[in-house]
Amino acid sequence: MQTGIGKNRILGVLLCIRALLKKESHWNMNNIAMLFDKYENIEFE
């Protein structure tokens, strides 16, 4: 059993927010990738 929030669920939420806020430049994929680099506990596969 997995504890915490699954990686797929976090990515899904981020992509949904991105779809809702299309005109916001900070939701482009380069900036999201920088977030994964900043927070080491998140694994991006």
Between 5-9, 11-15, 20-24, 40-44, the lowest mean confidence (pLDDT) is in: 40-44
Domain boundaries defined on the chain: 7-38
Tokens of 31: 């900036």
| Mean pLDDT for the stretch of residues 20-29 | 69
Share of the chain above pLDDT 90, in %: 0
pLDDT number for residue 29 = 62
